[in-house]
Amino acid sequence: MMVDLRQRGEAVAFSVRVVPRASRNKIAGIHDGAVRIRLTAPPVEGAANEALISFLSSVLRVPKRDIELVSGQTARNKVVSVSGLSAEEVEARLRSQL
C-alpha cells in the first residue's frame, strides 16, 4: 500500500479520494495509490475542499497556504500539492495518521 507521490518542482503532489459527510475527519486508508479521506463537510459550494485543505494542513503540519488543490475541485478524486515538505516527509506524516 503506497501513496503515489509526485515531485512537482518545489512541491509534492498526490491523489486524494474524498468521502464527504462522514462522522468525523480522518484518513481512511490508501486505495489505488490515492489517500482516502473522510470529511464531515458536505460537497456543497467548496465546503469539502476547504475542509480538505484545513484537515491536510493539520495532518501534515504545514500552513494552509502551502496546500493547493491542483485538480478535481468538483470531483471526489482530487490532486493535492504540498509545498515545503519532501515526498518522504509527506508520506511519513500521512502514514502516522493511518
Confidence (pLDDT) at 14: 97
Calculate mean pLDDT across residues 64-86. Answer: 97
Calculate mean pLDDT across residues 12-22. Answer: 97
CATH architecture type of domain 5-95: 2-Layer Sandwich (3.30)
Evaluate whether 11 touches 83 at the Cβ level (below 8 Å).
Answer: yes
Confidence (pLDDT) at 13: 97
Calculate mean pLDDT across residues 63-67. Answer: 98
Residue 38 phi/psi, 5-degree rounding, is: -90, 130
Quote the crossing angle between the two packed helices 47-60 and 87-95, to the nearest 10°. 100
Domains of the chain by residue range:
5-95
DSSP secondary-structure letter at 85?
A: S
Which is higher by pLDDT, 57 or 98?
A: 57
pLDDT reading at 1 higher than 70 = no
How far is residue 95's CA from residue 58's CA, in Å, rounded to a whole number? 14
